[in-house]
């Protein structure tokens, strides 16, 4: 092919990518996902095999898969082949190249990221082609996973969050008649040790493709290592595979510990409830002995069948009056009153991050320091906005102020405190000691616009409305419910309160 023809082909592909009817593609995929949900719910497993094949071989499925992997946070991170799909022409060509026949995934690129405990978490980065293949199969697998998931599993599921998990914890522990003992569970190296044989026998997807993913291996320091167990952290489909591996624990507990059972000739409520977020979970119980002698062995056996085991360091049994940390927050009863607060460990880690940012930016302009601090402070405060966090927010703001005051004084050792205060902490809008800097922009009436640091206490405490357990985002009958939740999340009120009539 001559150069002119090659350039024309590239231009055509770029034009083809930009002209894809994305709403139509999404509708077609959603229609197939809805049929998968219906077939799964009805137990029509032959259809559950056929419908995913239709989806994974469709143009719409392939297009959405390529769109996802080229627009997410990892779009600039290459795998072992160093290839990225960064142009419209490359993306359109990628859709055409996604073929199941003869598919052979490349090994993962192994990298490490630091954990809060000082250790490192291994991540496996697939090449772009394998990411797209995972994304297209996830489009078919996710509706099955949502339909068969444990009701109180909240991690790595669409429309669910840590706030939902903490709301469920509060619900099962807040009343006077609620269980008083909690088993804090943590699975040791969950992603790294899941049994491949178990997944091959129980995950309802293309077995050949799944086997190839699991056995692809990884490359570290230019050396190829085989993978005999686990599903690599870093793959798009890995969280769903891990969730499906752990699903089934809640019905198992419900089977062994019904709401009421006979014991020693009388009715007895074991009060066993599970709340899980990914591989972290809590299980409540009527007594410490019940959790230790009956519940924990049952959980251990459930995990053993999947090649997993409980972490001896992080798995413990505590009383609700002592409280426990879960997902960065602490749930504890104070004189019988339950409260959810930001955990001390989480707050300490946040302040250490803020101190590190301030310490490493001792000479940067004030405006740049504000730009680097605001996303960190705002993100942490928003995460805890549903908890009883007012006191913690005030303490955090004071500590941040102390660090900023020290930062400002060190920049001007020969200036007075009053001068430093006026220079860096002006009074704005009736509030004193605002860490702010005047910008070149001005309002319509000519007043200067200030760039200011956000304080954690600026975030209003808002009650979180927990998602309904049976809600399924892939089921069309739940669409009005999710639209209502989205409206309430955006505006803070329901459609009815806003005077909007249902369509």
CA–CA gap between residue 403 and residue 400 (Å, rounded): 5
Q: Which residues of the chain have pLDDT under 50?
A: 1, 3-8
Neighbours of 498 (CB within 10 A): 11
- Is residue 352 within 8 Å of residue 344, measured between CB atoms? no
**pLDDT confidence of residue 266:** 67
Q: What is the tens place of the pLDDT at every residue in 118-145? A: 778 888 899 999 999 999 999 999 999 9
DSSP helix/strand/coil, 438: strand
pLDDT confidence of residue 300: 96
pLDDT for the residue 334: 94
Compute CA distances 76 → 71, 79, 83, 84, whole Å.
9, 10, 10, 7
Q: Which phi and psi angles does 326 have, rounded to 5°? A: -150, 120
Tokens at 384, concatenated: 């805890």
> What CA–CA distances, in Å, run from 227 to 80, 209, 331?
16, 15, 39
Helix axes of 128-148 and 59-69: crossing angle, nearest 10 degrees: 110
How many whole angstroms separate alpha carbon 310 and alpha carbon 467? 28
| Joined tokens for residue 261 | 């059972």
Task: Measure the CA–CA gap between 269 and 73, rounded to whole angstroms.
Answer: 47
What region does 167 belong to: left with phi over 0, alpha with psi -120 to 50, or beta? alpha
Indicate the burial class of 282 (C-beta count within 10 angstroms; 0-12, 13-18, 19 or more).
buried
């Amino acid at each position: 092919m001559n150069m002119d023809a090659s350039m024309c082909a590239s231009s055509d592909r770029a034009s083809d990518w930009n002209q894809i009817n994305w709403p139509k593609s999404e509708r077609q995929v959603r229609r197939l996902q809805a049929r998968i949900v219906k077939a799964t719910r009805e137990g029509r497993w032959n259809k559950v095999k056929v419908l995913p094949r239709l989806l994974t071989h469709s143009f719409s499925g392939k297009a959405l898969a390529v769109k996802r992997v080229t627009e997410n946070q990892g779009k600039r991170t290459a795998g072992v082949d160093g290839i990225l799909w960064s142009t419209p022409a490359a993306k359109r060509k990628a859709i055409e190249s996604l073929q199941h026949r003869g598919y052979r995934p490349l090994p993962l690129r192994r990298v490490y990221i630091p954990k809060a405990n000082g250790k490192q978490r291994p991540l496996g980065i697939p090449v772009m082609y394998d990411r797209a293949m995972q994304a297209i199969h996830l489009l078919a697998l996710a509706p099955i996973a949502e339909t068969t998931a444990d009701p109180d599993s909240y991690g790595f599921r669409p429309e669910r969050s840590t706030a939902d998990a903490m709301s469920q914890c509060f619900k099962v522990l807040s009343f006077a008649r609620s269980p008083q003992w909690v088993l804090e569970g943590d699975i040791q190296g969950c992603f790294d040790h899941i049994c491949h044989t178990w997944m091959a026998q129980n995950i309802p997807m293309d077995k050949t493709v799944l086997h190839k993913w699991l056995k692809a291996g990884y490359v570290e320091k230019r050396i190829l290592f085989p993978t005999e167990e686990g599903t690599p952290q870093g793959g798009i489909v890995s969280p769903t595979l891990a969730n499906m591996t752990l699903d089934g624990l809640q019905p198992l507990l419900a089977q062994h510990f019904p709401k009421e059972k006979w014991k020693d000739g009388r009715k007895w409520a074991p009060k066993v409830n599970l709340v899980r977020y990914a591989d972290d979970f809590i299980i409540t119980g009527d007594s410490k002995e019940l959790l230790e002698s009956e519940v924990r062995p049952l959980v251990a056996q459930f995990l053993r069948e999947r090649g997993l085991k409980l972490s001896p360091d992080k798995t413990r049994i505590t009383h609700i009056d002592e409280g426990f940390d879960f997902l960065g927050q602490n749930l504890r009863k104070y004189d019988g009153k339950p409260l959810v607060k930001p955990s001390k460990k989480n707050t300490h880690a946040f302040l250490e991050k803020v101190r590190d940012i301030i310490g490493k930016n001792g000479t940067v302009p004030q405006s740049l320091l504000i730009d680097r601090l605001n996303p960190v402070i705002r993100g942490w405060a928003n995460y805890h906005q549903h908890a009883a966090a007012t006191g913690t927010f005030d303490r955090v703001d004071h500590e941040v102020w102390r660090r900023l005051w020290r930062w400002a004084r060190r920049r001007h050792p020969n200036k007075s405190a009053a001068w430093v205060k006026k220079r860096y902490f002006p009074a704005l809008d009736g509030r004193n000691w605002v860490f702010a800097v005047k910008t070149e922009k001005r309002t319509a009436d000519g007043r200067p616009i200030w760039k200011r640091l956000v304080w954690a206490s600026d975030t209003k405490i808002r009650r979180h409305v927990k998602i309904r357990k049976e809600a399924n985002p892939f089921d069309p009958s739940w669409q009005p419910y999710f639209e209502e939740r989205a409206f309430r999340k955006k505006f803070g009120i329901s459609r009815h309160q806003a005077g909007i009539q249902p369509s």
